[in-house]
Amino acid sequence: MSRYGDQLRTVQGGAVAPVYLLAGSDAYLQDNFVAEVARHFLPEGARKQVYSADDDRIDDLLAGLKAYDLFGGRELLVLLQAQRIAGQARDELLAYAASPHPDKCLVLVLEDYQPAKGLQKALSKQVPRIDTRPPFPDQLKGLAQDHARSRGHSIEADALEQLIEAAGDSAGHVTSELDKLFSGLAEGEKVTREMVTEQVRHNMAYHLWHLQEALALRDLAGALRILMRLLNYGANGPRIVQALTVLFTQLLYLQSDTRAKGVYTGLNKPVTATLPQMRRLYRPAESPGILKLLLQADLRLKSTSIAPATVLVPLIIGIAGQTP
């Protein structure tokens, strides 16, 4: 399994592989990698084509991979939920990965991380496999340093510690805060602790973990208020869905094993503290349905240009508005 940062730097250096496999559910890491591939591979004005293994357009993807246009130029094709592809379509995809077209780049996005199973195992020796699981806190530091380097800046060690403490609920949040800091810096200038302190003071009132906390407590009004504030400040729709998926996956795990404890949850301390109460507020039978709603929302947000609020408001109501 390739390190995310190593593969990203290779792409930024102009060396783009014909096929990539992204394994893991972090929406920021997925989106950022695809965006960098598009920036360094596609000609100006060209757009990527996004498909999902959950819909009936998979035949369009396979046809696009086989098509050859002498004057068509480069193409970037992205397949979401690739772990769901099966049967003849899977066989055709494997055959293509063994002999890809040099003017096409295919990015397979798998939400799970199972290197010894399925498509990941079948492609293990053919294509770069990149870890896009939500990073642990220590991994976030490396990601932040890589991001700063790619923008021509650096960050002091104590400033990085403070940034992770304030914005370490997701990779997307950390990089977003860094980009705000970079916008006011001269080229090559270093981010200091004082700069981070000043930014934290002026940051928005809510973060993703506040939405997780509100839903953990089944506070519908609070969750909707926080959601709209997040969206108004430019929060990314798929990242919101990812944060909620982490929350309800942990709930399902706890509901399935009453002895479960001491496992890294991906949740911060305030949200983790609400889990016992959340377990009482949500019935075990509800959790699989909620995770299905989250998956459907994720697919809509990633494969269409619909406004995030149009998807997320009904989603929040569907989760917290049910009768406990």
Question: Consecutive 10-residue runs of the chain (324 residues): their mean pLDDT?
Answer: 84 94 90 93 86 80 81 86 89 93 93 84 87 86 90 93 83 88 90 86 73 94 90 84 93 76 69 91 93 94 88 95 64
Q: Pull the structure tokens for residue 261.
A: 């404890």
Query: What is the Cα–Cα distance from 233 to 227, expressed in whole angstroms?
Result: 10
How crowded is the C-beta side of 41, counted as CA atoms within 13 Å? 26
What is the pLDDT at residue 205?
61
**For residues 75 and 64, is the Cβ–Cβ distance under 8 A?**
yes
Q: Pull the structure tokens for residue 193.
A: 């602790």
What is the pLDDT at residue 72?
66
* SS (HEC) of 53-120: CCCCCHHHHHHHHHCCCCCCCCEEEEEECHHHCCHHHHHHHHHHHHCCCCCEEEEEEECCCCCCCHHH
**For residues 193 and 171, is the Cβ–Cβ distance under 8 A?**
no
Q: Which residues of 59-69 are buried (b: 16+ CB within 10 A; e: fewer)?
A: eebbeebeeee
Q: Pull the structure tokens for residue 28.
A: 């920021």
* Fold agreement between 4-131 and 137-202: no
Domain ranges of the chain: 4-131, 137-202, 208-304
Give the residue among 126, 162, 125 at the shortest CA–CA distance from 141: 162
What is the pLDDT at residue 148?
93
What is the pLDDT at residue 154?
94
How would CATH label the architecture of 4-131?
3-Layer(aba) Sandwich (3.40)
What is the pLDDT at residue 201?
64
Q: pTM value?
A: 0.64
What is the pLDDT at residue 261?
55
Q: What is the pLDDT of residues 303-320, one digit of tens each?
A: 888 889 999 999 999 999
Give the fold, CATH level 3, of 208-304. Answer: Zinc Finger, Delta Prime; domain 3 (1.20.272)
Give the fold, CATH level 3, of 137-202. Answer: Helicase, Ruva Protein; domain 3 (1.10.8)
User: Helix, strand, or coil here: 191?
Assistant: strand
Long-range Cβ pairs for the range 183-188 (8 Å, 24+): 185/153, 187/152, 188/152, 188/153
What is the pLDDT at residue 295?
94
Q: What percent of the chain has pLDDT over 90?
A: 48
What is the pLDDT at residue 204?
52
What is the pLDDT at residue 2?
74
Q: What is the pLDDT of residues 30-71, one digit of tens each?
A: 999 999 999 999 988 788 899 988 776 788 898 888 887 666
Query: What is the Cα–Cα distance from 182 to 191, expressed in whole angstroms?
Result: 8
**For residues 4 and 143, is the Cβ–Cβ distance under 8 A?**
yes
